[in-house]
Amino acid sequence: MSLKFMSTKNPKAMMRAIVDQILTGHDKEAALRDGKLISLRVKKLTETLTNLQAEQLNTQQELRRERAKAQEEQWTQEDIDKMEAKYKTEVEENIKKQTDADTERSEQQTEGRKSDEKFKELLEDAHKKKK
């Protein structure tokens, strides 16, 4: 709060300055919290994507082992088809989850950039008001 408003004899101007300072401080704190929450969400979504990718790799390795086992044990084509259909479904579900998580992460990153811009504007406004 600038001292020039405190020394003024106009109580309305002083109250406006106080309220303006409080609102600016509140907006900055809210923008910071919003940015931190977005950052945490992006981090969590990135971890989710990493886990889904590892899960898909494991599924693919499992499928290779099952194919080798089927060949060794001379499974019927029908049994091989069932086994491959099961793994195909798992892989497709995993890919959908990865796509959803990646889309959400991208949206959160966009929100983060908007939040950063808002915070920057609030800081610039506060700086201008101090002058």
Query: 56: domain CATH number?
Result: 1.10.287
68 is a domain residue? yes
87: containing domain = 8-130
Q: What is the pLDDT of residues 24-81, one digit of tens each?
A: 666 667 777 777 888 888 899 999 999 999 999 999 999 999 999 999 999 999 999 9
Q: What is the pLDDT of residues 108-130, one digit of tens each?
A: 999 888 888 887 887 787 777 77
Helix (H) or strand (E) run with residue 71 in it = helix 11-73
Read off the pLDDT band of 2 (50, 70, 90): very low
CB 125 within 8 A of CB 24: yes
R_g of the chain computed on alpha carbons: 28
CB 97 within 8 A of CB 53: no
Is pTM, for the whole model, over 0.75?
no
1 is a domain residue? no
